[in-house]
């Protein structure tokens, strides 16, 4: 019997010829990523060594990445002190893949890892963030873990007691219609699967739509695979993966794509016709509460957010800037734009998108997680509604338990900014000049 991509990656990382779903392994970790919660990882790492008489020692500092993104710049003395402690630890232990709060090298961890070539096809990538699933877009096995598990990885270099997940094959064919993109596809899929439908499973993406999709779009699919509960989403690496890593991430060394065997075992196969998709909206308060846009058109919104690890990349900003160019954000609507990294921010400046946003009335913020998780900036008032390109709409997610969050694509967000209500981007909008 053949193996799926996740089985092949875990077999290689565990030094076995073959493994199957359900096997328990201790895979070697290729990359271990944390953000501000490295503060807790450091605490737990020191706990591990307590009473052992051993000096705390990282298994391999070159395989550890730490990126500040959740609260940048710090919103409170407490966060600033956590960041200070992490900075000191990074310096003491020689962690080179450290991205501090900087306009050139900083950004959201799930953008920093791909654009710096830290993730390779076939790698095992663990992160103390649930959206670590993103990096499956490069043909890696990438999944989220807690801080204590990361402390264990820092000490041992392996993940303990990992059960090989079964795989759901998702086959997508057909050309995505105009103004319909990867975000609509993944929202549709999460709606089909439900929020728990892929728990303890991997989503492996196939089909002509996926092959034709760029890495930026594949990152959207894998990023939100966790919203169906998936351990990870994986797009098997192909020519586009190699193009991205060579041309955009500057990777020069050998790359080995991992593809599934033709007779691999899948627990389920799903087929989606992309050509029939409409813009999709995830309605409050669960990500699987997905409706075609027609069902919610006209819903009044108070804040529009474009950005995050899901939709803060250059092509997302391009789609939005095109819709907003020369027009105005509706009165009584706040529009916040968060590029996913400093590099993307600089590219958006050069392309004129930042100017388009500002002239339309949007506020362009520094790269980071921003309002997505409700800890930092862009909080909502009591009873207010946000329409956002981020990945979660749980009760209280944007910091106020009485508010509503709807999730959408950058095209829907931009079109709706012009009207102040949820608006179908396929309809031509005038917008106040």
Partner 1 sequence: MSTVVLTLGDDVSTDVIYPGRYMATVLPTETPQFAFADLTEFNAKLKTKQVPPGSVLVAGKNFGCGSSREQAVSTLKGHELVIVAKGFARIFTQNSVNLGLKLVEVPDLEAKDGDELEIGATEVVNTTSGKRFRIVPLPPARQALIDAGGLIAYTRKRLLATVK
State the residues that interact with partner 1 by CB under 8 A: 24, 36-37, 39-40, 43-44, 47-52, 54, 70-71, 76, 78-79, 82, 127-130, 132, 144-149, 151-152, 155-156, 160-163, 195-196, 199-200, 229, 231, 286, 288, 373-375, 392, 394-397, 399, 401
* Nearest distance in Å: CB 323, partner 1: 30
The tokens describing 405, both together, are 């969050």
Helix (H, G, I), strand (E, B) or coil at 160: coil
- Closest approach, Cβ 219 to partner 1, in A, equals 18
Task: Classify residue 258 as exposed, middle or buried by CB count within 10 Å of its CB (0-12, 13-18, 19+).
Answer: buried
**C-beta closer to partner 1: residue 121 or 374:** 374
State the minimum distance, in angstroms, from the CB of residue 190 to partner 1. Answer: 12
- Please identify, using beta-carbon distances, which residue of 160 and 432 lies nearer to partner 1: 160
Nearer to partner 1, 175 or 402 (CB): 402
Decide: residue 5, CB within 10 A, 0-12 exposed, 13-18 middle, 19+ buried: buried
Q: How far is the CB of 72 from partner 1 (least distance, A)?
A: 13
Closer Cβ to partner 1, 146 or 355, answer by number: 146
Residues 204/4, Cβ–Cβ less than 8 Å = yes
CB of 401 to partner 1, least distance (A): 4
* CB of 209 or CB of 393, closer to partner 1: 393
Quick one: which of 145, 126, 125, 154 has its CA closest to 44? 154
Rank residues 143 and 345 by Cβ distance to partner 1 and give the closer one: 143
Query: In whole angstroms, how close is the CB of 408 to partner 1 at the nearest point?
Result: 19
Q: Which is nearest to 282 in space by CA: 324, 313, 311?
A: 311
Closest CA to 310 of 387, 391, 410, 397: 391
The beta-strand segments (E) located in 339-392 are 363-364, 385-388
Task: State how beta strands 124-127 and 97-99 pair.
Answer: unpaired
Minimum Å gap between C-beta 396 and partner 1 is: 5
Residue 194 or residue 265: which is nearer to partner 1 going by CB?
Answer: 194
Q: Which is nearer to partner 1, 207 or 370 (CB)?
A: 370
Q: Which C-beta is closer to partner 1: that of 49 or that of 266?
A: 49
Rounded CA gap, 321 and 349, in Å? 11
Tell how strand 280-282 and strand 290-292 pair up: antiparallel
CA gap 375, 414 in Å, rounded: 24
Nearest distance from C-beta of residue 187 to partner 1, angstroms: 16
Sheet of 303-307: strand order equals: 290-292, 280-282, 404-407, 385-388, 303-307, 334-338, 363-364
Residues with Cβ within 8 Å of 201's Cβ and at least 6 positions away in sequence, in order, are 165, 166, 167, 168, 229, 230, 231, 267
Q: Smallest gap, in angstroms, from Cβ of residue 428 to partner 1?
A: 37
Rounded Cα distance, 162 and 158, in Å = 10
């Amino acid at each position: 019997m053949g193996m799926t991509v996740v089985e092949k990656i875990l077999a290689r990382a565990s030094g076995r010829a073959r493994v199957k779903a359900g096997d328990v392994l201790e895979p070697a970790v290729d990359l271990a990523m944390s953000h501000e919660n490295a503060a807790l990882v450091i605490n737990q790492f020191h706990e591990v060594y307590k009473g052992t008489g051993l000096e705390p020692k990282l298994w391999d500092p070159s395989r550890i990445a730490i990126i500040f993104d959740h609260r940048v710049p710090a919103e409170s003395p407490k966060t600033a002190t956590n960041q200070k402690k992490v900075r000191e630890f990074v310096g003491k232990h020689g962690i080179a893949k450290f991205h501090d709060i900087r306009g050139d090298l900083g950004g959201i961890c799930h953008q920093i890892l791909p654009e710096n070539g830290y993730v390779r096809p076939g790698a095992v990538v663990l992160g103390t963030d649930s959206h670590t699933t993103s990096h499956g877009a490069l043909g890696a096995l990438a999944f989220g873990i807690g801080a204590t598990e990361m402390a264990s990885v820092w000490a041992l270099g392996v993940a303990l007691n990992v059960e090989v997940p079964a795989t759901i094959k998702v086959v997508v064919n057909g050309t995505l219609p105009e103004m319909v993109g990867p975000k609509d596809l993944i929202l549709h899929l999460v709606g089909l699967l439900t929020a728990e439908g892929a728990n303890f499973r991997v989503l492996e993406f196939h089909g002509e739509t996926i092959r034709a999709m760029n890495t930026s779009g594949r990152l959207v699919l894998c990023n939100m695979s966790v919203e169906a509960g998936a351990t990870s989403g994986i797009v098997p690496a192909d020519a586009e993966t190699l193009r991205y890593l060579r041309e955009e991430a500057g990777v020069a060394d050998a790359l080995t794509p991992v593809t599934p065997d033709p007779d691999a075992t899948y627990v389920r196969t799903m087929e989606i016709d992309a050509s029939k998709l409409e813009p999709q909206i995830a309605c409050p308060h669960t990500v699987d509460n997905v409706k075609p846009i027609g069902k919610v058109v006209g819903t009044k919104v108070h804040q529009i957010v474009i950005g995050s690890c899901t939709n803060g990349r250059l092509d997302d900003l391009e789609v939005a800037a095109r819709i907003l160019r020369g027009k105005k954000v509706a009165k009584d609507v706040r529009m916040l734009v968060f590029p996913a990294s400093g590099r993307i921010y600089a590219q958006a400046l050069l392309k004129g998108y930042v100017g388009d946003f500002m002239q339309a009335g949007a506020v362009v913020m520094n790269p980071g997680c921003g309002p997505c998780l409700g800890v930092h900036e862009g909080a909502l008032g009591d009873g207010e509604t946000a329409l956002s390109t981020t990945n979660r709409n749980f009760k209280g997610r944007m910091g106020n338990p009485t508010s509503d969050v709807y999730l959408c694509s950058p095209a829907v967000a931009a079109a709706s900014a012009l009207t102040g209500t949820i608006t179908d981007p396929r309809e031509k909008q005038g917008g106040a000049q």
